[in-house]
Amino acid sequence: MSTRVVSKLTSKYQTTVPAAVREALCLEKGDALAFEIAGGGGVTVRKAVALDQAFAGALQSQLSEWASDEDDEAYRGL
């Protein structure tokens, strides 16, 4: 049996992770989440593990060259 829960986004694109999801993923304050985006638009969310954190850290240093206000403006709306 599956359970469906819903959460709304704020104006800053933030949301509260519903209690049922926190319990299912064994989440605690400060835990990170990993999102996997499928080709068809589906998204899977799970508790991030150390490998996820290392991968994200490695990517961040590679992508920081595009972290400017000018780039934000150029790519807005894409």
pLDDT at 71 > cutoff 80: no
Least Cα distance to 21 among 6, 41, 35 occurs for: 6
Span 5-31, average pLDDT: 93
pTM: 0.59
pLDDT tens digits, one per residue of 49-65:
766 666 666 666 666 66
Number of independent structural domains in the chain:
1
Tell me the percentage of the chain whose pLDDT exceeds 70: 76
Range of the domain at 47: 19-75
> Is 2 within the bounds of a domain?
no
Identify the residue whose tokens are 């359970």: 3
Do 61 and 41 form a contact (C-beta atoms < 8 A)? no
Contacts of 8 by beta carbon, 8 Å cutoff, 6+ apart: 15
